[in-house]
Chains A and B, each alone.
Chain A
Amino acid sequence: MKSISRQFSNQQFFSFVRKEFYHVMRDRKTLLILFGMPVAQILIFGFALTNEVKNTRIVVSDYANDPASRRITERMAASNYFDIERRLVSHREIESAFKEGTIKLALIFPAQFNESLSHGNSAQIQLITDASDPNTANTLVNYASSIIRDYQAELNMLHSVPYSIIPEVRMLYNPQLKGAHSFVPGVMSLILMLVCVMMTAISIVKEKETGTMEILLVSPFKPMLVIVSKTIPYLILSLINVVSILLLSVFLLDVPVNGSILLLFAESTLYITACLSLGIFISIKTATQQAAMTISLMGMLLPTVMFSGFMFPIENMPVPLQVLSNIVPAKWYYIIVKSIMIKGTGLALLWKETLILMAMAIFLLTISLKSFKTRLE
């Protein structure tokens, strides 16, 4: 008898999930946005933003003023990327120029640049950049370095002994260059937040609005299962999005996944759980799709963008905001994904962040399940 009833509820459950998929699949416009948005965002962040570096004002502070330093400076000037202001400046002046935002990159040739190169076969150039805009900083450094590398390669063709010029990069304001390639983890935390919180909340509230929720509550189907089965399609959608973002980033943007894919998916599931719980919670507390949407956008998406560290480096924020950023699940997920993808970090170093995310997921799930009612208000 017990197995029959379980079979019954399984059948009910599948029927419910199938119905949810019908809803999702038949709403073409939303579906397009759901799958199109990650692609569009990756493309925007990956290409449009990073590649738009043209005629950037840089300063060259040449303490050497010898043939080698002048050659490199000429090459810099010849490229489309940089507009060069060549003068001798102190470190302090460079700093203030960065603060005013008049320059994005400073190139510093030490005295006896050519000497060290020709006698010691090795010389250093200092590249200082404003890393509070990590994507641009990274691109500028890459361009400058490649010009220097070109010059070095040319030298090496002429001489039998290999020369090496070592660019010494200094990132101002954001020394670890948080944000380099960070749009992939950033887009992931944003998309998952959007799909799980907003779509889930709206789809549940929609049933309240049309009155079908009344029927479902009156049915012998467990109210809790109503909620759970409504979240399943969005869980799956989110995982598909994770896969597509990763594929895009690996094959299109050459941003590799250095760490364990398995761990990445496990952490993503944790984050998705937290987001789905938030979505359920919002749906319980609101009565109209409009309200659910507003709360999801203003209350969830905005803090995610602001405090995940993806758009704006948290280190540069006032302390109260830094503290506030700790309650945003996206921040922790973002740290985790970035570490796994870029640094290849394993769980051994991420256990703290994972625990925090897990605690958040459990907390959110508990309050959303607690506040769920088996009756109407």
Chain B
Amino acid sequence: MEPVILHSITKTYGKEKKLAVDKVSFAVKQGELFGLIGPDGAGKTSIFRILTTLMLADSGSATVEGFDVVKDFKEIRNCIGYMPGRFSLYQDLTVEENLKFFATVFGSSIRENYSLIHDIYVQIEPFKSRRAGKLSGGMKQKLALCCALIHKPSVLFLDEPTTGVDPVSRKEFWQMLKQLKQQNITIIVSTPYMDEATLCDRIALIQNGSILSVDTPEAIVSSYPDLLYAVKAENYYRLITELGRYPGASAAYAFGEHVHLALKRDKGHLQEAKKEKILSYLAGAGIKDATLKETKPTIEDCFIRLLSRNEYERETRQ
């Protein structure tokens, strides 16, 4: 049985019944690094809180390690580790005091599971008598991870551990997660950063409380139906505007230094002819320095496509 299973979980807030989670179902496999990818307000934190037994869903059911999140919440609390998004530890306690406290609260001790956190803890150990409030962002995050791991949970929930963290620290954090995976801990992590999706075994793309897609990052990318071009020109702003008006374009949007142009695949034209057509269209619009190449879609491209399709469906439903 999978360690985490959600079945049609729905959650609303307040009197207006604002929909936060909309019939979400997915399952996480044993030992998997599972990513919940979506922007702020997509419902990630609500899902985490339901799974960690902090909140009750309006409807639907979910189990963690086979325990029901409503009935067996005590058992679940014994076997999970959780790092909330805004978790800031006790600022006025030292690194060591924080760790010791959480170890004891979870009925464990630092010595008992030291091997599990060793690789992470050695990085902050030199500062163990420093107050947590005086640590930098990346250090706090490492300490928080140690605190969530110290009782050797079998499922680890990390809610936006890398938000607001610089790219270097983010890379390091994901390396730590990779190492943890080897200990056979099931990890569910949420993030608004699309580029982190490829570091997960499987991901769920989520927006407005509903799941857009659940699969391996590779499968999601390979299911991208359109042709994708990366176009570059000096006048970036005009380039986007012109490509947005290109006949047959399903989307044109900024993507790093390029503009990504998505075109419906059709059998008629040869690739080279297509490129020529775009370039001559741009030249006709006064952009003569444009260069373009066909490019592989990323998770972000897929997300954008799914988002706009979702928006479209939402609009037509109304």
Query: A interface vs B, CB < 8 Å?
Result: 8, 11-12, 15-16, 19, 22-23, 26-27, 210-212, 214-221, 374-376
B93 touches A211 (CB 8 A): no
B107 touches A220 (CB 8 A): yes
In the bound complex, how far is the Cα of B86 from the Cα of A369, in angstroms? 27
Q: Give the interface centre of A12, A219, A221, A374 by most chain B CB atoms within 10 Å.
A: A219
In the bound complex, how far is the Cα of B97 from the Cα of A121, in angstroms? 78
B104 touches A211 (CB 8 A): no
Q: Contacts A15-B100, A19-B93 given: A215-B87 contact, CB under 8 Å?
A: yes
A22 touches B84 (CB 8 A): no
A16 touches B88 (CB 8 A): no
A23 touches B88 (CB 8 A): no
A219 touches B84 (CB 8 A): no
How many residue pairs, one in A and one in B, have C-beta atoms under 8 Å apart? 82
> Given the complex, which residues of A lie within 8 Å of B93, measured CB to CB?
19, 22-23
Residues of B56-113 contacting chain A, CB below 8 A: 56, 73-74, 77-78, 80, 82, 84-93, 97, 100-102, 104-107
In the bound complex, how far is the Cα of B87 from the Cα of A221, in angstroms? 18
> Given the complex, which residues of A lie within 8 Å of B52, measured CB to CB?
214, 218
**Residue of B54, B56, B90 touching A19 (CB-CB under 8 A):** B90
Is B53 located at the chain interface by the 8 A CB criterion? yes
Would you list 17 pairs from A and B whose C-beta atoms are within 8 A, ordered by A residue? A12-B104, A12-B105, A15-B100, A15-B101, A15-B105, A16-B104, A19-B90, A19-B97, A211-B85, A212-B89, A215-B87, A215-B102, A218-B77, A218-B80, A220-B77, A220-B107, A376-B49
> Given the complex, which residues of A lie within 8 Å of B106, measured CB to CB?
219-221
B104 touches A214 (CB 8 A): no
B55 touches A375 (CB 8 A): yes
> Given the complex, which residues of A lie within 8 Å of B74, measured CB to CB?
220
> Given the complex, which residues of A lie within 8 Å of B148, measured CB to CB?
215
A19 touches B101 (CB 8 A): yes
Which residue of A is nearest B107, CB measured?
Answer: A8
In the assembled complex, the CB of A209 is this many whole angstroms from the nearest CB of chain B, namely: 9
Report, nearest first, the 10 A-B pairs whose CB atoms are least far apart. Answer: A15-B104, A211-B86, A214-B84, A26-B92, A220-B78, A376-B54, A218-B82, A211-B84, A211-B87, A221-B105
Q: Contacts A15-B104, A16-B105, A221-B105 given: A212-B90 contact, CB under 8 Å?
A: yes
In the assembled complex, the CB of B128 is this many whole angstroms from the nearest CB of chain A, namely: 15
In the assembled complex, the CB of B264 is this many whole angstroms from the nearest CB of chain A, namely: 46
Q: Contacts A8-B107, A215-B102, A216-B105 given: A27-B54 contact, CB under 8 Å?
A: no
A22 touches B87 (CB 8 A): no
Which residue of B is nearest A27, CB measured?
Answer: B92
B77 touches A211 (CB 8 A): no
B107 touches A375 (CB 8 A): no
Q: Give the interface centre of B52, B82, B90, B105 by most chain A CB atoms within 10 Å.
A: B105
A210 touches B104 (CB 8 A): no
A23 touches B80 (CB 8 A): no
> Given the complex, which residues of B lie within 8 Å of A22, measured CB to CB?
90, 92-93, 97
B88 touches A211 (CB 8 A): yes
In the bound complex, how far is the Cα of B80 from the Cα of A219, in angstroms? 8
Q: Mark B126-166, 1 if CB is under 8 A from A, else 0.
A: 00000000000000000000011000000000000000000
B87 touches A214 (CB 8 A): yes
Q: Give the interface centre of B88, B91, B104 by most chain A CB atoms within 10 Å.
A: B104
B82 touches A215 (CB 8 A): yes
> Given the complex, which residues of B lie within 8 Å of A15, measured CB to CB?
100-101, 104-105
> Given the complex, which residues of A lie within 8 Å of B49, measured CB to CB?
214, 376
In the bound complex, how far is the Cα of B151 from the Cα of A8, in angstroms? 14
In the assembled complex, the CB of B56 is this many whole angstroms from the nearest CB of chain A, namely: 7
Q: Mark B35-64, 1 if CB is under 8 A from A, else 0.
A: 000000000000001001111100000000
A374 touches B86 (CB 8 A): no
Which residue of A is nearest B56, CB measured?
Answer: A375
Q: Mark B262-288, 1 if CB is under 8 A from A, else 0.
A: 000000000000000000000000000
In the assembled complex, the CB of A25 is this many whole angstroms from the nearest CB of chain B, namely: 9
Which residue of A is nearest B75, CB measured?
Answer: A220
**Residue of B53, B85, B90, B91 touching A218 (CB-CB under 8 A):** B53
In the bound complex, how far is the Cα of B147 from the Cα of A11, in angstroms? 18
In the bound complex, how far is the Cα of B106 from the Cα of A221, in angstroms? 7
A214 touches B54 (CB 8 A): yes
In the bound complex, how far is the Cα of B105 from the Cα of A221, in angstroms? 6
> Given the complex, which residues of A lie within 8 Å of B54, measured CB to CB?
214, 217-218, 375-376
In the bound complex, how far is the Cα of B297 from the Cα of A94, in angstroms? 98
Which residue of B is nearest A8, CB measured?
Answer: B107
In the bound complex, how far is the Cα of B86 from the Cα of A211, in angstroms? 6
In the assembled complex, the CB of A285 is this many whole angstroms from the nearest CB of chain B, namely: 17
In the assembled complex, the CB of A237 is this many whole angstroms from the nearest CB of chain B, namely: 17
In the assembled complex, the CB of B196 is this many whole angstroms from the nearest CB of chain A, namely: 21
In the assembled complex, the CB of A155 is this many whole angstroms from the nearest CB of chain B, namely: 68
Which residue of A is nearest B153, CB measured?
Answer: A218
